[in-house]
Amino acid sequence: MVDQFQGLDPAAFRSALAQFPSGVTIVTTRSDEGTLHGFTASSFASLSLDPPLVLVCLDRRADCFPVFMAAKHFVVNIVTDAHAELAIKFATKGENKFAYGSFEFDEAGHPLLSDAAAVIRCELEQAVPGGDHVILIGRVHDARTGSSKPVTWYRGGFLPLGESAA
Ligand SMILES: Cc1cc2nc3c(=O)[nH]c(=O)nc-3n(C[C@H](O)[C@H](O)[C@H](O)COP(=O)(O)O)c2cc1C
């Protein structure tokens, strides 16, 4: 078997990654059959302004993986402090995820999280392999900003932004 880590200590790798605070998103889509799917992701990033592109990395082992690979569109919902519990539901396999939280639907039936810090609607432009994940690159069709502050994820926990953050 090939040693993929080539001497790197996996625990040290994870620990170093945990030193990077990120935002938290709930990424959603709708299958052709009309079923709703979603997962919590901290791997979201902006990629390009012109054309407008964003990316999010999806684990190949996720139950929703085949649906996202087949979907033409996905939605990135940037979550707030009030959505912390919901984000854990969306990170839990086998949950009836859409039974929790409040969602609205766009004209194509894609779920948009109500009161999100921002909602970014994308068309799947490319799915690029990246180890045990795939990088979903989305061309942004629509973006809107809410009035609540985003929450951050740091060292395995939610960290609300301080009062000073606008
Ligand atoms: C804060 C947080 C961030 C996460 N970020 C990612 C991510 O960027 N990509 C990913 O594939 N899974 C991520 N996960 C794990 C998935 O949300 C989780 O495995 C989810 O259940 C996968 O979807 P499934 O239920 O369809 O298998 C994250 C979980 C948490 C709690």
Q: Mind listing the pLDDT tens digit for each residue in 54-110?
A: 999 999 999 999 999 999 999 999 999 999 999 999 999 999 999 999 999 999 999
Which atom in ligand 1 lies closest to the alpha carbon of residue 93? 25
Cα(38)–Cα(73) distance, integer angstroms: 12
Which atom in ligand 1 lies closest to the alpha carbon of residue 97? 25
- The predicted pLDDT at position 1 comes to 63
Which atom in ligand 1 lies closest to the alpha carbon of residue 158? 1
Beta-bridge partners for 59: 133
CA of 40 relative to ligand 1 center, distance in Å: 5
Residue-range domains of the chain with CATH: 24-152 (2.30.110.10)
pLDDT in tens, 24-60: 999 999 999 999 999 999 999 999 999 999 999 999 9
Cα(16)–Cα(36) distance, integer angstroms: 34
What phi and psi values does residue 95 have, to the nearest 5 degrees? -70, 145
Q: Which of 42, 68, 96, 154 to mutate to test the pocket of ligand 1 (most atoms within 8 A of CB)?
A: 42
Nearest protein CA to atom 6 of ligand 1, as residue: 41
The tokens of 72 are what?
A: 């033409």
The amino acid occupying position 53 is: L
